[in-house]
Structure 1
Amino acid sequence: MILSRFERTIAKRYLWPGKGEGFIFLVAAISLFAVTLGVWALITVMSVMNGFRAELFDKVVGLNGHAVVQGYGGRLPDWQAIVREAQATPGVTSATPLIEQPLMASYDGRVEGVLVRGMRVEDIRANPTLKGHVVAGTMDALVPGSENVAIGSRLAEALGAEVGGQISLISPQGQTTPFGTVPRIVSYRVAAIFEVGVYDYDKAFVLLPMEDAQTLLMLGDAVGMVEIETADPDKVGAILAPLAAKVGRQGVVTDWRQMNASLFEALAVERVAMFVILAFIVLVAAFNILSSLIMLVRAKTRDIAIMRTMGATSRSILKIFIAIGLSISIAGIVVGIVFAVVTALFRQQVVNFVQAVTGQNLWDPSIRFLTELPYKANPFEITAIIGLTLGLSFLATLIPAWRAAKTDPVQVLRYE
C-alpha cells in the first residue's frame, strides 16, 4: 500500500493527539503496548521452547545416539558383526558398541544409584557431548586397566566426590556361595568430573573404558548395545529398517523417538498450546487498535468531510486510517523484537534476578532436565509471528477505515 504525500501528511498528523484527544491517544498507546507485549512474549516463549527441544535433542542423542541395537537379556555377544552390518547400511554415519548398566556407587559412606556406561577409549574422546565439558580432571586418564572413571558433576556433589578420590561400584552380579550371591564391589579412582548440562545424566553417569566395564559386569567380550547415528535423525526409522530385519534374532532396534516419545510429544503439545494462548495477546491488541481507530474516526468526522469536499477520494481516506493502524502495529512489532533480543542476551540474568527477588527456584534442573535456560530463535516462526500480528492489525483497521471512507460530507456539513 503506497501512500501519496497528502495521505502520509494526514496519517502523521492523526498519529499525534489533537486538542481534546488525550483519551484516544491513551487507547492507541495501550494498543502499542499490547502489540509489543504480544510479539515479545510470543518470540521469547517460542524461542525458549525451541531451545529446550534442541538442547534436549542434542544432549540426549549425543549420549544415546539416534538409535540403539539392544541385545536380548542385555547382551550382544557378536557385536562386531552388528557394528559391521550397521556401518554398511546406507544412511548410517557411525556404530558404537557400549555397555550401560544401573548399579550402586559408594563414596565415603554415601551411596547413590548410578548408571555405569562403558565405552571404547577412542569413542569417549571423540564424543562431542563429552568433549569440552570436563569441569575437573582429564578424560585422558581413562584407559583400559587403569581403574579410572569419570563421573557427572551432580553425582559428584551428591557423593561429595573429588578428583583423585576412590569410588566403589556395587554390582549384584557377584560370586555365588552356599549362602547366596555376594555382590561384587570394585573400587575406582575418580579421574574426571564432567557436566553435559542434562540433570539426569550429570546426576547418574559413571563413565569407564569398555574393557573395565566388561570385567566389572562379568560380560566377557559381550556388550550391552550398539549405538547408531544416522545422516537424518527424522528419517531414522526408514534408514534402519533393513538393519532391523538383519539383526532381529540378536537384538531389537529402538530409535530416539521411541526412547523419548513421551518427553518430545509433551514438548510439542506444550509448544502449540503456548503459541495459541499467547496469540490471544495479539488478538487483544488488534481489538485495541480497532477501538482507538473507531474513536479517532468519530473525532475526525468533520475533518474527513472537509477533505472530501476538497477532492480527497474515499480510497485516500481508507488508506489513511489503515496506515494509522498498521503504523501502531509496526511500531509495537519493532519494540517487541528489540525486547525479545535483549531478553535472549540476558535471559539467565533475568531468571537469576527473579529468583533472588521471589526466593523461588524457577529453573530447577531436576525438573527441567537442563541446567540453564535455553534459547533458539527460529526465523520462520518469527516471520509467522510478525505476519500474524500484521494480519490481525490490518483486519482490525478495515471496519473504521471503511466507515471513514463512506463518510457523506453533505450530511456532516449540512448544519455547519
Structure 2
Amino acid sequence: MLLSPFEWTIAKRYMLPGRGEAFIAMVAGISLAAVMLGVAALVIVMSVMNGFRGELLDKIVGLNGHAIIQAYGGRLENWQSVLKEVKATPGVVRASPLIEQPLLASFNGRVEAILVRGNTQVDINRLEAQKQAGNLDRLKPGAGQVAVGARLAENLGVRVGDVITIINPQGRSTPFGTVPREIGYTVSAIFEIGIYDYDQAFVVMPIQDAQTLLLTGDSIGMIEVKTNDPDKVGQILAPLSKKLAGQAVIQDWKTINASLFEALAVERVAMFIVLSIIVLVAVFNILSSLIMLVRAKTRDIAIMRTMGATRKSLMKIFVTIGFVIGALGTLAGLVLGFVFLFFRQPIVRLIEVLSGQNLWDPSIRFLTELPSRTDPAEVTVICVMALVFSFLATLYPALKAASTDPVQVLRYE
C-alpha cells in the first residue's frame, strides 16, 4: 500500500503534535509505549522459557545422555555384549557404562546424602568444562580419588585435597551383623554442572572404584546412550528395546524428566497467551487515539474531500498513522527486550539489592543463573502478531474518516 506524496504529507502532519492536539499526541505516545512493553515482555519471557528448556535439556542430557538402559534388579551382568549391541544401533552416537547409587558421605562430623557415579575415564574427562578447582586427571582406577559437586563441597565444607568418607550400608556380614562399608576418598576436583540438584549430590569416581565400593564385581548399573537426535530417541532405540525385552528397560530423557518438561511447556503456552493480551490492550489504545484524531480532524477531512481527496486516500492516511505507531512500538519493544536479555543477570542482582529478596534461589530454580535463548521464529511471530493487531485496529477509524460526508460537516461553515 504505497502512499502518494499528498497522502504521505498529510500522514506525517497528523503524526506530529500540533497546537491544541497535545492530548491526542499523548494518547498516541501511550499507545506506542504500550506496544513496546507488550512486545518486550513477550520477547523476554519466551526467550527465558526457551532458555530454561534448552539449558535443562543440555545439562541433563550432557550428564545422563538421551536415554538410560537399566537392568531389572539394578545389575547388568553381561553389559559388554549389550554395550556392543547398543553402539551398533543406527543413530546412536555414544554409549557408556555407568554406575549410580545413593549413599552417604561424611567429613568433620558433617553427613550428606550423595549420589555416587562410577564413570569411564572418557566420561570423567567431559567434566573438564565444568571443573571449578582441582585436577580430573588424578581420577584413576585404584587411586582413591573423587570429584564432588560444588554445592556438596560447600555443604560438607571440603576443599581439594580433603578426604571424605563414603558410607555404603550394604557392607560385609560379620558374626555381629552387617557392618557398613566406610572408605576414605581424596577430593581431587570440584565441579559445577549448573543444576542445583546435581551439584549438591554427585560424587564422581572411576567405574572400577565404584564397583569395589558397592561390591558389585564386574557388573554395572546402567548404560547411558546419546543419539544424533534427542527428539527421536524413542524411534532410534525402538529396535533395541525389543531385543532387550525381559533383560533391561530403556528410559529416554522425555520419560525421566516428563513432569518437568511438560510443566515448562504448559507454562510457556500460558505465558504467551497472557502476554499477548498486553499487546492486544496496547492495540486498543491505538484504536482510541485514531478515533480521537478522526473526530478532531473532521473539518480537515471534509475540506480534503471537497478538494478531490478520495475515500481510498483517506483510508490509507489513517491506516498508515496507526500502523506506524504499531511498527515503532514493535521495533522499540524488540530493542528493549534484547537489551534486557543481554543485561538480565545484572538486572536480577540489582533488583535483589533494591528489594532485599533472593529472586534466584538455585535450589528452587534448578539452574544457577537466569537462562535465555532467543528463537528467531518466535520473535518473528511476535512481531507479525503485533503488526497485524495494529493494522486491524486502524481499519475502523480509517473507514470512519473515509465515510465522512463533507456536505454535512461544512453545511454551517
Alignment-mate amino acid for residue 64 of structure 1: N
1:214 aligns with 2:223: no
Counterpart CA distance in 2 for 1:272 and 1:61 is: 24
1:71 aligns with 2:71: yes
Counterpart CA distance in 1 for 2:187 and 2:315 is: 75
Map residues 169-188 of structure 1 onto 2, 5 A cutoff.
169-188=166-185
**Which consecutive segments of 4 or more residues in structure 1 shift more than 3 A?**
none
Counterpart CA distance in 1 for 2:278 and 2:8 is: 29
Task: Tell me how far 1:123 sits from its aligned partner.
Answer: 2.2
Task: Tell me how far 1:406 sits from its aligned partner.
Answer: 0.8
Task: Tell me how far 1:408 sits from its aligned partner.
Answer: 1.1
Counterpart CA distance in 1 for 2:122 and 2:271 is: 43
1:324 aligns with 2:321: yes
The equivalent of 2:285 in structure 1 is 288
State the secondary structure of the residue aligned to 2:116. strand
Counterpart CA distance in 2 for 1:122 and 1:26 is: 64
| TM-score normalised over the length of structure 1 | 0.98
The equivalent of 2:99 in structure 1 is 99
The equivalent of 1:14 in structure 2 is 14
Alignment-mate amino acid for residue 139 of structure 1: L
Give 1:148's match in structure 2, choosing from 140, 145, 148: 145
Task: Tell me how far 1:179 sits from its aligned partner.
Answer: 3.2
| TM-score normalised over the length of structure 2 | 0.99
Task: Tell me how far 1:31 sits from its aligned partner.
Answer: 0.4
Q: Deviations 1:285-339 (Å, cap 9, x if unpaired)?
A: 0100000000000000010111111111111100100000011111111111111
Task: Tell me how far 1:240 sits from its aligned partner.
Answer: 0.4
State the secondary structure of the residue aligned to 1:208. strand
Counterpart CA distance in 1 for 2:246 and 2:39 is: 54
Give 1:300's match in structure 2, choosing from 297, 308, 315: 297
State the secondary structure of the residue aligned to 2:76. coil
Task: Tell me how far 1:56 sits from its aligned partner.
Answer: 0.2
Answer with 213-222 or 131-140: which moved more.
131-140
Counterpart CA distance in 1 for 2:396 and 2:268 is: 33
> Any stretches of 5+ residues in structure 2 without a counterpart?
none
Map residues 14-413 of structure 1 onto 2, 5 A cutoff.
14-125=14-125, 127=126, 130-413=127-410
State the secondary structure of the residue aligned to 1:396. helix
Counterpart CA distance in 2 for 1:292 and 1:153 is: 56
Q: Deviations 1:343-387 (Å, cap 9, x if unpaired)?
A: 111100000000011011111000000000001000000000001
Aligned-residue CA RMSD (Å): 0.8
Q: Deviations 1:120-149 (Å, cap 9, x if unpaired)?
A: 112211x3xx23111100111111011000
Counterpart CA distance in 2 for 1:336 and 1:80 is: 56
- Equivalenced residue count is 413
Counterpart CA distance in 1 for 2:254 and 2:129 is: 27
Task: Tell me how far 1:3 sits from its aligned partner.
Answer: 1.1
Counterpart CA distance in 2 for 1:10 and 1:141 is: 77
Counterpart CA distance in 2 for 1:367 and 1:298 is: 54
State the secondary structure of the residue aligned to 1:131. helix
State the secondary structure of the residue aligned to 1:185. strand
Task: Tell me how far 1:178 sits from its aligned partner.
Answer: 3.2
